[in-house]
Structures are given as structure tokens and as C-alpha cells.
Amino acid sequence: MALPPIFQRDIPEEASEALSADHAAARLPVGAPLPEAALPSDAAGRLRGILSEAASMPADPVRSSDSLRLRDGHQRALTDLRLSVTDRCNYRCVYCRTGNGGEQFTELPIAHYLRMVRIFVSLGVEKVRLTGGEPLLRHGLLDLISEISRMRTAFSGTPLDIAMTSNGHLLATMAEDLKRAGLARITVSMDAVDPETFARITRVPNSFERVRDGIRAAQRAGLGPVKINCVLLRGFNDSQIEAFAEFSRREQVIVRFIEFMPLEEDRSWSPDTVVPMREIVERLNAMRPLVALPAHHASETARRFTFDDGLGEIGIIAPVSEPFCGQCSRVRITSDGKLRTCLFSQLDHDLIGLMLKGATDDEVISWIQKVVLHKEARHHIGEPGFLKPSRGMVHIGG
């Protein structure tokens, strides 16, 4: 008979060690079902004993008190974790990168990211979004998704909502594997539907067709509804608003326009470059009447619309002209293991440093609780004395 897959967090440490050694002896991948016939008789007996003892232990109860959730000093529940797995990117988008540099920060072993996610899930995180840089460049990404997909939320015992933001360049060949690993949804950053404009933004020739094909592959794989994020810059790609609306209707994707924020590497942002939500709505209404859609949840960042015939969906994320910080539920981890409480934080909190010093999970939890108490109430874009964040977006994680 074949023993079922066993995961380290569900059994005692000695069982994990036995499994690792026995998988190596049987030349099987860790996590694969292990046939008893592949084991020496004494190993099979030892493993059965360990599993029997573990099965008799009471399961960790699903927490029932909402008071145990991770909250900041403004009593906002932090249920959304943004985890960057690399700051490398195969694009050099003009509003993001200077074009002269690459990665600046180290990547962590996948096991470290998994421990961080597990700890945050124990504190009430329900959604994990993998970001970069470009996450599809990261070796071990599928293993990371697969392991996260086996975790369950602390307060309801339901599967985590696992999403990803990608530039889509490698998506056509990876969509099916991402779905099989456990990814639920994908958002693609795409700043023009005109191929020439798109190549000028990304500084990569023939990139539009690859991203379009990646979007279609993601839809076929079931990674929907696929969302398209478009950062609008006045005088650069704001001519694409109506074309994106047609793209949403034609390709059956959700297009989200994002106001340009001061998160670029070369610090070129100014209020004049922002295309505000009001203008976007007016232009779309002139094309075809918009109908407002209700928010999915209180912390949703996008104002949602469809057209009067119900075809297509448009979201507008307006952090500059209409800030939405009051319901923020997010916390971020950079690719080098720093905890950030806001996109516009001036501080990185050294989560990985604490872990590498040997801190226990309880010690890490206590540290996280103290850090998030100081989460910013809001950003101050455009206000006197505003300071741009200590890192650009690509080095924070989108």
C-alpha cells in the first residue's frame, strides 16, 4: 500500500527526518507518495509508528476569535500579504526603471519565504500575492506556490487565496504549471495595447505579442478572472484608455487603470504626469455609458465599473486623486526579507535578520505585532513635506 504525502508541519520532526532520508534512499522526490515496498522493513515500521502517534494527537484548532487577528495601531486587520520573490525583471519599463541597473537586493531561499508566509497565515493572513520584479524569473517559484497552497487560513480553515502579479512575458509557457501548482489568479502589468507604444514602454522589442499570448494562456488555464494593470502617464500612454476598454470587452479581461505614483527609480514623478480618476471616467463614459459595480470587500483598492451592456469590466485605482488608505489590509515583504508596512514607508524592518539569529516562531510573531502597530495611517503623496519611499516599486514588490 502507498502511504499518503506527508508535510513537515503536520508531523513530528523525527517523521520529517525519516521521510527525507527514506525518500533519498528510494530515489523519490520529497512530498511524493512513498510506497512501503520501497522502504527497508525497519524504516517502514518506524514510519508507521510515527504517523500513528501523530494521528492520535489533536489537530491544531481553527481559531475562532477575531480578536486574535493581526491588527495595526488603527485597528485595521492585516489579511493581505504581498511577498516579493525577486527584484530582477526582464523589462525596463520607463516609469519604473532607469534602464541602467538591475537587481539590487538578494533573494532568499524558498524555505525562508515559506516560514514567513506560514507565520503570517497563523496571524490571520488570508491572501498571498507573489510579486517582484518579475516573479516568473524566480527559480523554485512553482514549489513555493505548491507549498503555500497546502496551508489553510487560521480563522476559517479555508484555502488561501494565492495570486500573482507578472509582466506576462513568460506566462504563455508557464500558465498551466502555475495552475497545477495551486495559483488561483493572475494580474498582468500591461501599459499599452498598441504594440509600438508597448515596446517603447518596456524597452523590449516584440513584447506585446508575448504578453497578449500569455494572457490568453492564463485564461485557458483557469487563472481568471485575469486582471490587466495599466499605469497611465500623461502624454505617454494616456491615449490608450479607450483602446484598453475595447481590449477588456474583446478579450474578456478586467482592465484596471492605476494613477502614476512616485515609486520610480529615477524620481521623475510630478503631479502633472498623473491622469486622475475623474478624467478616466469621463473619457470612458463618452465612449459608452459606465455602470458602477459594488466592491468585493471593504479594503478593495479599485473602483469597479462595467458598461451599460454588461460587457467588459474596468477598475480604477486612484491613490493620488482619491486615496483609499483608511481600509488598508496589506503588509509587504521584500525579496531580501524586509517587512514593510506601506508602499511609502521610509523604513525596512529586518524580518530575515531576526529569523537568521535563531528567533522562534513565537518571538517572530511578537516582533511582527509590535512592528505593525506603527503601520502608517495613510500616504502623503502631493502634500508638503512628502518623502518618496526608500525603495522604488521594483525593489519593494508590486
Q: Tell me whether residue 356 is in a domain.
A: no
**Judging by DSSP bridges, how do beta strands 80-84 and 330-333 pair with one another?**
parallel
Would you state the pLDDT for residue 363? 98
Q: Are residues 165 and 103 in the same domain?
A: yes
Q: Are residues 160 and 290 in the same domain?
A: yes
Q: Tell me whether residue 359 is in a domain.
A: no
Q: Tell me whether residue 161 is in a domain.
A: yes
Q: What whole-number distance in Å separates Cα of residue 206 and Cα of residue 10?
A: 47
Q: How many domains does one find in the chain?
A: 2
Q: Tell me whether residue 178 is in a domain.
A: yes
Q: What whole-number distance in Å separates Cα of residue 242 and Cα of residue 287?
A: 7
Q: Are residues 164 and 269 in the same domain?
A: yes
**Cell numbers that stand for 391 in this block:** 525603495
Q: Are residues 30 and 98 in the same domain?
A: no
| Long-range contacts, stretch 354-357, CB < 8 angstroms, 24+ apart | 355/112, 355/115, 355/116
**Cell numbers that stand for 233 in this block:** 502617464
Torsion angle, CA of 171/177/181/182, rounded to 10 degrees?
Answer: 50
Q: Tell me whether residue 210 is in a domain.
A: yes
Q: Are residues 80 and 9 in the same domain?
A: no
- Which amino acid does the sequence have at 385? G
Would you state the pLDDT for residue 67? 73
Q: Which CATH number do you get for residue 174?
A: 3.20.20.70
Q: Are residues 167 and 291 in the same domain?
A: yes
pTM as predicted: 0.80
CB 132 within 8 A of CB 84: yes
Q: Are residues 49 and 109 in the same domain?
A: no
Sign of CA dihedral 268, 272, 277, 280: negative
- Residue pLDDT tens, the chain, 398 long: 333 332 333 333 333 333 333 333 333 333 333 333 333 444 445 444 433 443 333 334 566 567 789 999 999 999 999 999 999 999 988 777 665 555 577 899 999 999 999 999 999 999 999 999 999 999 999 999 999 999 999 999 999 999 999 999 999 999 999 999 999 999 999 999 999 999 998 999 999 999 999 999 999 999 999 999 999 988 889 999 999 999 999 999 999 999 887 655 555 657 778 899 999 999 999 999 999 999 887 767 789 999 999 999 999 988 777 766 657 899 999 999 999 998 777 789 999 999 999 999 999 999 999 999 998 776 656 556 656 666 666 677 66
Crossing angle (nearest 10°) for helices 171-181 and 207-221: 30
Residue span of the structural domain in which 150 resides:
71-327
Q: Tell me whether residue 305 is in a domain.
A: yes
